[in-house]
Amino acid sequence: MEHNTSPFKGKTGIKRISNAAGYSLAGLMAAYRGEAAFRQLVWANLVLIPLSFCFDLEPVEHALLVAVCLLSLIIELFNSAIEAVVDRISLERHPLSKNAKDMGSAAQMIAMLMIAVVWGIILIG
């Protein structure tokens, strides 16, 4: 029987969960150490998320304010991953590499706009 899975995917159960948690923490640490934009977003989130609880809002409104902030971190992780893969393949300038990096950047710009719009709508009405 042929398997179309990676040879690195063999763990199951608690061992798989433990390994996945370790990989996730390593990814977060790599992003924090190596990506200034990720660090800036972490610090912005450390301000914005607690700030969201200073307003008298419905629970769903608090959840939205927090969710859009966390979403920006997720998008920055994907953006950084795209950049790393593109650079791993080749440091040569290529239109497709530029497109990939620019699209990741555009995703982050939209996430930042989404933060501004959601916070504005909820706080200003």
Whether 33 has a binding-site annotation, put simply, is no
Whether 102 has a binding-site annotation, put simply, is yes
Whether 32 has a binding-site annotation, put simply, is no
Whether 61 has a binding-site annotation, put simply, is no
Q: Which of 2, 58, 61, 76 is catalytic?
A: 76
Q: Are 38 and 92 in contact (CB under 8 A)?
A: no
Distance CA 58, CA 53 (A): 10
76 as an active site residue: the answer is yes
Residue type, 125: G
Whether 90 has a binding-site annotation, put simply, is no
Instruction: Give the burial class of 79: count Cβ atoms within 10 A of its Cβ; 0-12 exposed, 13-18 middle, 19 or more buried.
Output: buried
Whether 58 has a binding-site annotation, put simply, is no
- The secondary structure element, H or E, covering residue 17 is helix 13-34
**Which residues are part of a known binding site?**
16, 23, 35, 76, 83, 92-94, 101-102, 105
**Which residues are part of a known binding site for substrate?**
16, 76, 105
Active-site positions read 76
**Which residues are part of a known binding site for ATP?**
16, 23, 35, 83, 92-94, 101-102
